[in-house]
Amino acid sequence: MGFKLESIIPWGRSMLEYIQMFDLTPDELKLNILDCAGGPASFNAEMKLQGYKVISCDPIYQFTADEIAQRIQETYEIVIQGVKANQECYVWQNIPSPEMMGEIRMSAMGKFLEDFPSGINQGRYLKDELPVLPFTGNQFDLALCSHLLFTYSEQLSAEFHLASIMEMCRVAKEVRIFPLLQLSGQPSPWLQPVVNELQQRGYAVEIKQVAYEFQKNGNQMLCVKLDS
């Protein structure tokens, strides 16, 4: 059956995981990057410490750090128990156990919470959400979206997916989305219809294998840009 959630939850990953999930090269880290639905990931915080620039957007940023921290605590046990009940759906190589997964995620989210107040003041965290973004055309070199689109296919319609991807393509020269599986580990039913529609609208679409795999077979990202 696989892991299921009724609603979208705050759950964050690290800069190293972002690099692996999105196959980011050292040169690409220097680009102007937008992290869509960034949630409590530490990617922005860690990139800032290393002198790089990221803008993250997520509706959760309308809340205070304390409110987000409380929501994370409320979510933590649900996720850990869900993963424990479906351990066969995951690759326990770099992450050896559900408990270790919890520690790694909480470490990343802790870095986010420390950075969040200053990041809000500096305009690095914005409360805007897909499928409507407040940016100008091609404002970014690269837009990333981790564990929202396709992950939450039960909660988000095919129309939402298409509108969100086209909006990211409007504001960035290239869009990368990871993973392409649902929370349950099943392929998203929206992937092929969305790919077909994007191609019909003149976008170049590619599915690329990446080095990151925690969900079994969850080692692919979608790359989209206007076909030149």
CATH code at 108?
3.40.50.150
Domain of residue 80: give its range: 15-226
Q: What are the φ/ψ torsions at residue 175 (nearest 5 degrees)?
A: -120, 135
Q: For residue 96, what pLDDT band results from cuts at 50, 70 and 90?
A: very high
Domain contains 8: no
Domain-embedded: residue 3: no
Supply the pLDDT for residue 6.
62
Closest C-alpha among 143, 5, 6, 161 to residue 83: 5
For the chain, percent of residues with pLDDT exceeding 90 = 89
Chain segment 7-47, per-residue pLDDT in tens: 677 889 999 999 999 999 999 999 999 999 999 999 999 99
Encode pLDDT of 17-28 as tens digits. Answer: 999 999 999 999
Residue 129: CB atoms within 10 Å: 17
Question: What does the block give as tokens for 13?
Answer: 């990953």
Closest CA to 221 of 38, 167, 211, 210: 210
| Within-domain flag for 192 | yes
- Of the candidates 65, 62, 204, the one whose C-alpha atom is nearest the C-alpha of residue 222 is 204
pLDDT at position 34 = 98
| Confidence at 228, pLDDT banded by 50, 70, 90 | low
* Model confidence pLDDT, tens digit, residues 173-213: 999 999 999 988 999 999 999 999 999 999 999 999 999 99
Q: How confident is the model at residue 227 (pLDDT cuts 50, 70, 90)?
A: confident
Within-domain flag for 5: no
1 found inside a domain: no
pTM score: 0.95
Considering the domain boundaries, does residue 9 fall inside one?
Answer: no
Q: At what angle do helices 158-171 and 191-200 cross, to 10 degrees?
A: 50
Residue 4 has pLDDT above 90, yes or no: no
As to burial, measured by CB atoms within 10 angstroms (0-12 exposed, 13-18 middle, 19+ buried), residue 6 is: exposed
Residue 4 placed within a domain = no
**CA angle, 33 as apex, 170 and 111 as ends, to 5°?**
135
Residue 7, pLDDT score: 67
Q: Is the residue at 151 inside a domain?
A: yes
Q: In what order do the strands lie in the sheet with 172-178?
A: 125-126, 54-57, 33-36, 140-146, 172-178, 220-226, 203-209
Number of structural domains in the chain: 1
pLDDT of residue 59: 94
Residue 28 confidence (pLDDT): 98
pLDDT of residue 5: 56
